[in-house]
Amino acid sequence: MIAYLSGKLLEKQANTVIVDVGGVGYEVTIPLSTFYDLGEVGDAIELRIYTHVREDALQLFGFKTEREKLLYLKLISVQGIGAKSGITMLSGMNADEIIVAIRTDNLARLTAIPGVGKKTAERLVIELRDKLNDLTSAASQQHLTSTSGGAGAASVDAVYDDAVSALTNLGYQRNAAEKALKQAVQDGTEMSVQKLLRKSLQFLAKG
């Protein structure tokens, strides 16, 4: 698999570039966040690459930084976010904005991105909120701290109700959602919305 390309920028457009590596031109799909950092045609270029293999095609997706690539890989691990959707997300917001939106449950900000509906935004928050610590920059962390300061712990009932609401919004029947949540609680899952949802989704996936 191709994980890195270094060469000369042969052509560039808002969403694709062609990189000349030793006389071979590689077409790479990029987000706008990477496009803004590109040099001029003929300049040297280095890209972190994600190789997406399908039955009928092999596509390369490129990123200016390893952090951006790692965030992209986390995004496309969520159901409803495909290889191209992940690029659209990084084109609609930069990495810091996406991380802050997910970690602060800002569904309105996430659904403002083309192609991201409410259910997909909720999945992003449920599945990734606790997995982005290592990608959070100092500036993002400061923003998160300032927005969460002084917030008291939610009551157990409120956490449970929020979890039921999130599951029904994802399309699950209320009875099935409540049953899965009860199983999660009985399993000793910590009483936080995110952790209860993650455990409940595992039960629901098993049918």
The sign of the torsion formed by the CA atoms of 174, 180, 181, 183 equals positive
Least Cα distance to 17 among 72, 62, 76 occurs for: 62
The C-alpha atoms of residue 88 and residue 103 are separated, in whole angstroms, by: 19
* Residue 114, phi then psi, degrees to nearest 5: -55, 130
Percent of the chain residues topping a pLDDT of 70: 89
All domains in the chain, ordered by first residue = 4-63 (2.40.50.140), 66-148 (1.10.150.20), 156-205 (1.10.8)
Q: Which residue has the tokens 């209860």?
A: 196
Judged by average pLDDT, the poorest of 90-99, 120-129, 164-173, 184-193 is 184-193
Q: What is the CA radius of gyration of the chain?
A: 20
Residue 145 has pLDDT above 60, yes or no: no
Among the listed residues 42, 2, 50, the one whose alpha carbon sits nearest the alpha carbon of residue 19: 42
pLDDT at 30: 94
> Span 83-107, mean pLDDT?
87
Burial class (CB in 10 A: 0-12, 13-18, 19+), 51: exposed
Q: Is the pLDDT of residue 20 over 60?
A: yes
CB neighbours of residue 143 within 10 Å: 18
- For the chain, how far is it from start to end, CA to CA, in angstroms? 35
- Round to whole Å and give the CA distance between 152 and 197: 20
β-strand 24-29 against 4-12: which pairing, if any? Answer: unpaired
Q: What is the mean pLDDT of the chain?
A: 84
Q: Determine the Cα–Cα distance for residues 64 and 123; give it in Å rounded to an integer.
A: 26
Q: What is the mean pLDDT of residues 94-107?
A: 86
Q: At what angle do helices 138-148 and 95-103 cross, to 10 degrees?
A: 30
The rounded distance, in Å, linking the Cα atoms of 98 and 204 is 27
Q: At what angle do helices 174-186 and 193-205 cross, to 10 degrees?
A: 110
